[in-house]
Structure 1
Amino acid sequence: MRSNRPLRVAIYDPSGRGGVCHYTHQLAQNLALMGSDVTVVTTENYELKHLPRNFNIVFLFKKSRIKRFALSWIAPVRWQGSDHKESAFQNGTHAGEKIPGLALLKNLRLRIIWLKAAFLFLWKRPHLIHFQWLVDRDQEYFFINLLKLLRFKIVYTVHDLLPEQCDAHPDHDALEKIYRKVDALIVHAENNKREFVSTFEVDPEKIYVIPHGSNDLFYTDKRMSKEAAKEELGFFRGKKVILFFGLIKRYKGLEHLVEAFQEVKERLDNVALLIVGKIYDGDPEGFKYYSDLIGQLRGREDILCVEDYIPLEKIALYFYASDVVVLPYISNYTSGVLLSAYAAGRPVVVTDTGGLKEGVEVGKSGFVVPPKDTKVLAQAIVETIKNRNQNDEMGRYAKSLAENNYSWSSVASKTIALYRHLPMKSAMADAASQLTVK
């Protein structure tokens, strides 16, 4: 695919909201700005549908009326009037799998959606299809295999090597089949590539390193000051704010930050901890643990917990109110939180896990510490926020990294270079083009 002609790119992202959705939107926008004809295939609940864009959207994933009917009629019989019906409905596909027959209906529905997607791609004739997220790792191989039989080229951005960063995860074999089948894989750091090769039997030559872009999508009001953001939250006046942001899961190590915060308080006055994020409910033990932890912290004068999913328009406020953003992860693959901090002009403290270390220039944009070492973590936080001038200078440097090293124009340019490095477009698309000309 070495021609300089505009590329037709289909991006498959059924996530609909959250970090991957934000990534897809910014990538699609910048690919389009560089002349590509981009179509994003996503869900009707796509949370960014209200934003202006210069790419096309197809809402292929829609609410299942069959599941809604089944959950409203079958569930009450199964649970005999218990209060589980509502929570099961809200939990989506996982709830349906607990009801006999709904798992089969779910798989059937997915295959119908994928057949529709295949016909859509045959009609659109993209030069390649870029996957960003998978709905069902066990079943998705059917779809990818179908697209390969139709001779489409497939690129897959691997945002999570394995769910929950667990090498023995039951999805390992299903993911390895998918990773082998696609034409190219994108990871965000060199260490991610090394980890990939050590975890899966995949050709290293098909793995490309392209950094995660800066999440400047969140910051429409670039004039908001740190003081104004703290004032708007009404909790942090005159305090130095340590921010933890994102879905709360075990591997993110929130408890270690809470412990380190106690030591920070012993060394600095007027500090506060801001915890923003919903607790992941797909892990019952983890959900109970962090619910109990948040319950213990709630009500303290030096800690504010915002236990919810934060919509796009509200994200900037929390980053702008912070003096440092901390990622105390126990294990990790990559994180958009780091790039969100940089886009806001905030320094970071991260753990030496996954690809985080590669994104930090120590002493300039932040610090890197060992996982679970609360004393070193506390020391790095203190070092980052103890001096206002130094903290501001680190923030400005982080902002410059966001605007240069991690700009979306740079990410899109590297992605297009990868696209063009792939072999010529599919014979199926060529044949369709010839039929169109005739």
Structure 2
Amino acid sequence: MRVLIVEPVAESGDWHYASLMGGALAECGIDVSLATLFPKTPVSALCPVPIYPIGPLPDELRWSRFVSLKRAAYHVRKMWGLRRLIIMLRPDIVHLQKPLGAADFVYLRYIRRLAPRLVYTVHSPLPSRLGPVSLARLRRMDLILVHDAATQRQLIEAGIPASKVRRILHGNYIHLCHPRDLPPADARRSLGLHPEARVILFFGSIEWRKGLDRLIEAFAMVSQDFDDVYLAISGYPNEDFATYRAHIERLGIRDRVVVNLQWVPCSEMQRYFHAATMVVLPYRRISQSGVLQLAYAYERPLVVTDSGGIAEAVLEDGTGLVARDSQPAGIAAAIRELLSDPERAALMGRRGRMLAETKYAWSRIASDVVSFYHSICNSDTAVHA
């Protein structure tokens, strides 16, 4: 069986996921290739797989006042690259990790003529009400993979046949967490903190749905009770960070907050996770989170809000606390609870690492995906163009 995994956006988290999934499928005997934008950041996967370009990263392009025209031309170039690749490789399955574009159901109709089966993994939270374009995309698929029960339920309620919607676990990120040789005290020093400081970590892209504003307010409450606790924020902002900076200033906690707004390569992640006492995911909307798997790999307990698959995982796994509500006071209470019981917090962290190596092993997840692949390839009920 030949499978082409397409990551058409090349965002770091989804690219990591696609690479690790591809390597695990190759270990299962699947003939896997990856397609993405170039240049790409190499990922140490379980098993090396060939990687093909479908176009350049958009940062390489110089947008002028003719932005719309250039964006359209760039998009056409990317879709032409994907078409050429499908014709060359002739995969049995094209497995999309992201939408191809706003109106990609049009492209999918054409791609179906080149590839017998289409699979789509839902990584981002869906809008509360699926519009006609989203539904048109989803109905083109032979198989939809999701990472949480809420998304699975939403798709079925929207009219997608239950037999087409399969839930899988989000695989571990252990392979990304190298090196791991930096002692916690040295990690804190590298952030300009006292070696005995306790650090609350927010890691990952910064946007409204990630709820950083809630965490900043919650931390201001916690900082009044613990004078050795600091907040570390590390992530690339997808919106203006000035609002968050002003919030930090207004709450009078500037001296207790460390901010890094640059993308962190895998080789540097240990500075933040080894410095951390806990990782907090104060998200408003989420399906599942790669940051949760990073926390597991680095043996750090979590505080999360009751949102999507992160709450499901933490409750089921016993790897942290779910805030009693999603407001700052509820998040602050959960943080205080973990700070007040370091032995319990350490046990949760160790349990996360153990589950990353077992429950969330890519070999188990890939085995499930392979069985789903076979089910649609052997089915006579493929979606017709």
Answer whether TM exceeds 0.5 for this pair: yes
**Secondary structure of residue in 1 paired with 2:255:** coil
Matched letter for residue 39 of structure 1: S
Matched letter for residue 146 of structure 2: V
Aligned length: 380
Q: Displacement, 1:39?
A: 0.4
1:125 matched to 2:90? The reply is: yes
1:193 matched to 2:152? The reply is: yes
Per the alignment, do residues 135 and 349 of structure 1 end up closer, same or farther by CA in structure 2, a change over 3 Å counting? Answer: same
For structure 2, the 5+ residue unaligned runs are: 381-385
Q: Displacement, 1:107?
A: 4.4
- 1-side partners of 2:17 and 2:58: how far apart? 26
Matches within 5 A, 1:26-425: 26-48=20-42, 53-62=47-56, 68=62, 71=63, 75=64, 96-97=67-68, 101-120=69-88, 124-138=89-103, 140-162=104-126, 166-167=127-128, 172-198=131-157, 200-281=158-239, 289-290=243-244, 292-293=246-247, 300-361=254-315, 364-424=318-378
Per the alignment, do residues 110 and 304 of structure 1 end up closer, same or farther by CA in structure 2, a change over 3 Å counting? Answer: same
- 1-side partners of 2:58 and 2:207: how far apart? 28
Deviation digits for residues 51-108 of structure 1 (CA, Å, limit 9, x no counterpart): 795211111212689954xx4xxx3xx5xxxxxxxxxxxxxxxx822xxx33442343
Q: Displacement, 1:219?
A: 1.3
Matched letter for residue 102 of structure 2: R
If you compute each CA radius of gyration, which structure gives the higher value, 1 or 2? 1
Deviation digits for residues 164-198 of structure 1 (CA, Å, limit 9, x no counterpart): xx4358xx322211110010000012222113334
- 1-side partners of 2:61 and 2:190: how far apart? 42
Q: Using the aligned pairs only, state the percent identity.
A: 29
Deviation digits for residues 210-258 of structure 1 (CA, Å, limit 9, x no counterpart): 0111111321223433233223333242111100111111111111111
- 1-side partners of 2:265 and 2:330: how far apart? 33
Q: Which moved more, 1:371-380 or 1:105-114?
A: 105-114
- In the alignment, is the contact (CA less than 8 A) between 2:97 and 2:122 conserved in 1? yes
Matched letter for residue 264 of structure 1: V
Q: Displacement, 1:266?
A: 2.5
Q: Displacement, 1:331?
A: 2.1
- In the alignment, is the contact (CA less than 8 A) between 2:143 and 2:164 conserved in 1? yes
Matched letter for residue 157 of structure 1: T
Matched letter for residue 287 of structure 2: Y
- 1-side partners of 2:71 and 2:221: how far apart? 49
- 1-side partners of 2:249 and 2:39: how far apart? 31
Superposed CA RMSD in Å reads 2.7
- 2-side partners of 1:144 and 1:116: how far apart? 14
For structure 1, the 5+ residue unaligned runs are: 1-6, 79-94, 427-438
**Secondary structure of residue in 1 paired with 2:308:** coil
- In the alignment, is the contact (CA less than 8 A) between 1:328 and 1:371 conserved in 2? no
Deviation digits for residues 138-169 of structure 1 (CA, Å, limit 9, x no counterpart): 2x22332112123521111110143xxx4358
- In the alignment, is the contact (CA less than 8 A) between 1:226 and 1:321 conserved in 2? yes
